[in-house]
A = this chain, B = another copy of it.
Amino acid sequence: MTHPDPAFSASEYARRLTKTRAAMAAAGLDILFVEDPSNMAWITGYEGWSFYVHQGVVVFHDADPIWWGRRQDANGALRTVWMQDDRIFGYADHFVQSTVRHPMQDLARLLTEMGHAKARIGVEMDNYYFSAKAFTTLCTELPNAKILDATALVNWQRAVKSDEEIAFMHKAARIAENVMDGVIARIEPGMRKNDLVAEIYGDVIRGIGDDWGDYPAIVPLLPSGTNAAAPHLTWDSQPFKRGEGTFFELAGCYRRYHIPFCRSVFLGTPPDFLKRAEAALVEGLEAGLDAARAGNRAQDIAIALAAPLERAGIERGARCGYPIGLSYPPDWGERTISLREEDETILEPGMTFHFMPGLWMDDWGLEITESILITEDGPASCFCDRPRKMYLKD
Binding site for B on A (CB under 8 A): 5, 47-52, 71-73, 75-76, 78-80, 92-94, 96-99, 102, 123, 125-136, 149, 151-152, 192, 194-195, 197-199, 201-207, 210, 212-215, 218-219, 221, 227, 229-237, 317-319, 322, 329-331, 333, 335, 338, 340, 342, 360, 362
Q: How far is the CA of A75 from the CA of B363 in the complex (A)?
A: 9
Contact flag A131-B128 (CB < 8 Å), given A76-B231, A236-B212, A342-B94:
yes
Indicate if the CB atoms of B151 and A72 lie closer than 8 Å. Answer: no
Indicate if the CB atoms of A330 and B198 lie closer than 8 Å. Answer: no
Nearest-CB residue, chain B, relative to A194 = B212
Indicate if the CB atoms of B133 and A233 lie closer than 8 Å. Answer: no
A97's contact among B133, B317, B322, by CB below 8 Å, is which? B322
14 A-B pairs, CB-CB below 8 angstroms? A5-B236, A48-B233, A49-B234, A51-B330, A52-B330, A75-B231, A79-B233, A97-B338, A125-B136, A194-B206, A198-B201, A198-B205, A198-B213, A212-B237
Contact flag A212-B192 (CB < 8 Å), given A131-B130, A133-B125, A135-B132:
yes
Indicate if the CB atoms of A319 and B93 lie closer than 8 Å. Answer: yes
A329's contact among B47, B202, B330, by CB below 8 Å, is which? B330
A205's contact among B75, B133, B197, B317, by CB below 8 Å, is which? B197
Each complex incorporates copies of this chain amounting to 2
Indicate if the CB atoms of A149 and B133 lie closer than 8 Å. Answer: yes
Indicate if the CB atoms of B79 and A318 lie closer than 8 Å. Answer: no
Q: How far is the CA of A206 from the CA of B198 in the complex (A)?
A: 6
Q: How far is the CA of A227 from the CA of B227 in the complex (A)?
A: 43
Indicate if the CB atoms of A331 and B133 lie closer than 8 Å. Answer: no
Chain B residues near A205: list those with CB within 8 A. Answer: 194, 197-198, 201, 235
Chain B residues near A149: list those with CB within 8 A. Answer: 133
